[in-house]
């Protein structure tokens, strides 16, 4: 199995979460052991020689690929969570969504100045969540930041919301 084979395992769900949206459901891909292994191998290949020390996974589907990537790289995993889910002192950033404002938080001691960080989420659509996560991680002054997604919806131009000077990678594009 290769990464292009993964596309055939991703289910399209029309009109979710609202009418006119086609939701790319990765759960049908990750329930397949061979596909999950292929995804993990492909993610690790992208970052194996970059000195990554932490992977930040964005709630909630970013926890899946982010944890796998961290494990494969021998790096730590940092969850980026919705408000009120982390038990210690946090830093937070708010961002606009198509139907309102949302917030994301990290523990204030999650990233150090010695870290090389990969920010990971399952899907790049408009880029708002990742942009907020990037700003949080950047405020902690790590050595380097990379951004990664399993799927990118190119027609929504989410990359425009992300910094131009940061390497952004995706495994699959629609």
* pLDDT tens-place string over residues 74-96: 999 999 999 999 999 999 999 98
Q: 């090389």: which residue's tokens? A: 116
Looking at the chain, list the stretches that DSSP marks H as alpha helix, in order from N- to C-terminal side: 3-7, 27-30, 33-47, 62-73, 128-138
The token duo for 132 is 């907020």
Q: Is 167 a catalytic residue?
A: no
CA–CA distance, 106 with 75 (Å, rounded to integer)? 17
Domains of the chain, with CATH numbers? 49-173 (3.40.50.2020)
Q: Average pLDDT for residues 134-158, to the nearest whole number?
A: 97
* pLDDT tens-place string over residues 10-27: 999 999 988 998 999 999
Name which of 109, 144, 104 is nearest 127 in CA terms.
104
Q: Is the predicted pLDDT of residue 136 greater than 80, yes or no?
A: yes
Q: Is 24 a catalytic residue?
A: no
CA–CA distance, 83 with 122 (Å, rounded to integer)? 20
* pLDDT tens-place string over residues 51-78: 999 999 999 999 999 999 999 999 999 9
pTM for this one?
0.95
Active site residue: 11, 34, 37, 98, which one?
98
Active site residue: 24, 61, 105, 152, which one?
61
């Amino acid at each position: 199995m290769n990464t292009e084979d993964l596309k055939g395992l991703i289910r399209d769900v029309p009109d979710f979460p609202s009418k006119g949206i086609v939701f790319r459901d990765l759960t049908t891909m990750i329930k397949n052991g061979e596909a999950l292994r292929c995804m993990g191998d492909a993610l690790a290949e992208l970052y194996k020689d970059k000195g990554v020390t932490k992977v930040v996974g964005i709630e909630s589907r970013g926890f899946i690929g982010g944890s796998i990537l961290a494990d494969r790289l021998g790096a730590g995993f940092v969850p980026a969570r919705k408000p009120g889910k982390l038990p210690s002192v946090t830093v937070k950033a708010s961002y606009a969504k198509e139907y309102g404002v949302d917030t994301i938080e990290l523990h204030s001691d999650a990233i150090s100045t010695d870290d090389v960080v990969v920010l990971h989420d399952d899907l790049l659509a408009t880029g708002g969540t990742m942009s907020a996560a990037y700003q949080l991680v950047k405020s902690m002054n790590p050595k380097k930041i990379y951004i990664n997604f399993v799927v990118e919806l190119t027609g929504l131009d989410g990359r425009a919301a992300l910094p131009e000077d940061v390497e952004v990678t995706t495994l699959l594009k629609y």
